[in-house]
Amino acid sequence: MSLSCCWNLSKQKSGEDKTLSTFSLMDPPTSPAAQNPSSLHSDSIISSLLSFPASTPFSIACSFDRELEKALASASDDASVQDRLLNRTIQLASLLLDSTERCFRKRASAHNSVSWVLPPELTVKVFSKLDTKSLMQAAACCTMFNKCAMDRSSYAHIDLTTADNEVVCTMIHRAGKELRSIKLGHVTRRYGPEPNPNPIWFNGPFLSSLSYNHGFLGSRLTSLRLYNVGPMHYNSLSSVLSVCSNLTDLRIVGSNSPYMNLFMTLSKKCRLIEHLCLVSYHPLGNIDASTASHLIELVTKSPNLTSLTLLCFQLTNEIVRNLVESSRKLKYLNLSRSPKIDGCFLRDLGNSCKESPLETLIMRNCVKLEEKEVLELCNSLLEGNFKFIRHIDVSSNNGLVSDDGRRSYKPKFPVEKLKEERPDVTLVADFPLERSGKRYHVGVEGDDEELREIEMMEAKNDEEENDDDDDSFDDDDDDDV
């Protein structure tokens, strides 16, 4: 049926000026009994159009052009009426295109449902393992994936370390009671004159969603990891952690919040903590006597604590000794980049903590770590102390401090004897011999990948700063000459 016939049919029903109103933009009734004569005419027209015989696109376009010209010629000499006819034709064409696209998507979705080998529950399980950005990309693929991606279980683990930060609140609410873990921020610091272009402001509305409804969502959280998220007011941090009573894994990298308040909140509200990792940046890692007492209280009141990482903290030997002695189940202790400890605490531990469950001790790049203290540790191991320890790492880009105060890059440790008598213990003592060939060794393969990346970046930054200092010193010498 031609466009001119369509136009003439509408004129016969309600007159020329009312023609445009007879064709409703509403979808046709789904029930045949509800169809009126106008919808029957519409169905007939569309059916006729769909049964159009196969032809070349050029000939079809020419047919449309001719019929549209005839419709315009028979409509009226009034330009406004012709304009309305053209606009109406565009609307009809758009509706036809939209309907066709909907049918195409339905067919594609049906095809995907048949060809996709996993049932919906397994698909949701797979989606729950994706980072949040990948999950959103999968949701945009097709209707079937979108439906699975909207399942709450798919958002149990929110990872926004590679996505836009503005969607944090939305993702938390979308996960609902299935929420289990959250990752936010950039794993490593961004050096340079330009600030982080997408900082997460902890004082904003992002994690405050965890406190809604008396902290219902926060109580579902078991893992929270924040990486260089920008300024954090300790009241905001405390209010969030206060509702996370079931938190077992906490990692905060680059915090500027007072650690004493953090330790107090954790010891009171997060008694189930198992893995605690805090990475400080100089000089914020200072630990005074009061802060140290709250840290020790936290370790004492956390019966499930098995892993403790305090990276770049200015800990003393006494604090470290008290930490190990206060812990009941501590198996992993990472004190890398601690600028104050020299290792003398190891002697006391060898005598007081012979039955300590400690299995892994990491002290990488501790600039004051002394060669004689590490040697004393080796002798203690040979004597049968530290029965459960399996891995020790004292590697450093700067070597160890020798008896004469110089840097030692070839310490004489009884490595072979240790292998014979304690073959279950691995001692990693890796030191570069030349400054020009500095390299950072990450030690055991089982080390946390994110922590290794952080340590390498920080070590690299320190080396660059040291090189700059040496260059400026050389320049001064030249000037003096």
Better-scored residue on pLDDT, 72 or 333: 333
Q: Which of 213-222, 271-280, 463-472 has the lowest mean pLDDT?
A: 463-472
Note the pLDDT of residue 201: 46
Banded pLDDT at 455 (limits 50, 70, 90): low
Nearest-angstrom CA–CA distance, 364 and 316: 16
Question: Which pTM does this prediction carry?
Answer: 0.64
Please give the backbone phi and psi of residue 38, each rounded to the nearest 5 degrees, phi first. Answer: -65, -45
Q: Report whether 190 contacts 457 (CB < 8 A).
A: no
Banded pLDDT at 32 (limits 50, 70, 90): very low
- In 3D, which of 19, 161, 117, 6 has the Cα closest to residue 76? 19
290 pLDDT exceeds 50? yes
Percent of the chain with pLDDT over 90: 18
Among left, alpha and beta (phi > 0; psi -120 to 50; other), residue 380 is alpha
AA letter at 105: R
Q: Residue 339 corresponds to which tokens in the numbers above?
A: 């600028």
AA letter at 349: L
Banded pLDDT at 293 (limits 50, 70, 90): very high
Q: Report whether 417 contacts 382 (CB < 8 A).
A: yes
In a domain, 29, yes or no: no
Note the pLDDT of residue 30: 47
445 burial type by CB count under 10 A (0-12 exposed, 13-18 middle, 19+ buried): exposed
In a domain, 129, yes or no: yes
- In 3D, which of 200, 248, 205, 246 has the Cα closest to residue 226? 200
Q: Which domain holds residue 135?
A: 119-151
Alpha carbon 131 to its chain's center? 7
Nearest-angstrom CA–CA distance, 372 and 427: 15
29 pLDDT exceeds 80? no
48 pLDDT exceeds 50? yes
Banded pLDDT at 388 (limits 50, 70, 90): confident
Top-confidence range, 48-62, 94-108, 163-177, 385-399: 385-399
Nearest-angstrom CA–CA distance, 156 and 182: 8
Banded pLDDT at 306 (limits 50, 70, 90): very high
Query: How much is the mean pLDDT over the chain?
Result: 75
In a domain, 194, yes or no: no
Q: Indicate the number of domains in the chain.
A: 1
3-state secondary structure the chain: CCHHHHHHHHHHHHCCCCHHHHCCCCCCCCCHHHCCHHHHHHHHHHHHHHCCCCCCHHHHHHHHHHHHHHHHHHHCCCHHHHHHHHHHHHHHHHHHHHHHHHHHHHHHHHHHHHHCCCCHHHHHHHHCCCCHHHHHHHHCCCHHHHHHHCCHHHHCEEEECCCCHHHHHHHHHHHHHHCCEEEEECCCCCCCCCCCCCCCCCCCCCHHHHHHHHHHHHHHCCEEEEECCCCCCHHHHHHHHHCCCCCCEEEEECCCCCHHHHHHHHHHHCCCCCEEEEECCCCCCECCHHHHHHHHHHHHCCCCCCEEEEECCECCHHHHHHHHHHCCCCCEEECCCCCCCCCCHHHHHHHHCCCCCCCEEECCCCCCCEHHHHHHHHHHHHCCCCCCCCEEECCCCCCEECCCCCEECCCCCCHHHHHHHCCCCEEECCCCCCHHHCCCCCCCCCCCHHHHHHHHHHHHHHHHHHHHHHHHHHHHHHHHC
Q: Residue 75 corresponds to which tokens in the numbers above?
A: 């409509």
Banded pLDDT at 457 (limits 50, 70, 90): low
Q: Residue 208 corresponds to which tokens in the numbers above?
A: 């405050």
- In 3D, which of 183, 189, 185, 180 has the Cα closest to residue 201? 185
Q: Residue 381 corresponds to which tokens in the numbers above?
A: 């191991």
Banded pLDDT at 20 (limits 50, 70, 90): very low
> Tokens 């060939």 correspond to what residue?
437
In a domain, 130, yes or no: yes
In a domain, 134, yes or no: yes
In a domain, 138, yes or no: yes
Among left, alpha and beta (phi > 0; psi -120 to 50; other), residue 470 is alpha
369 pLDDT exceeds 80? yes
The residue-averaged pLDDT of 189-212 equals 55
Q: Report whether 332 contacts 363 (CB < 8 A).
A: no
In a domain, 105, yes or no: no
Nearest-angstrom CA–CA distance, 70 and 79: 15
Note the pLDDT of residue 276: 94
315 pLDDT exceeds 60? yes
Nearest-angstrom CA–CA distance, 20 and 88: 7
Q: Which of 145-159, 304-318, 368-382 has the lowest mean pLDDT?
A: 145-159
Banded pLDDT at 446 (limits 50, 70, 90): very low
Note the pLDDT of residue 45: 72
37 pLDDT exceeds 60? yes
Beta strand 391-393 with 426-428 is: parallel
Beta strand 275-279 with 249-253 is: parallel
In a domain, 127, yes or no: yes
Neighbours of 60 (CB within 10 A): 13
Beta strand 400-401 with 407-408 is: antiparallel
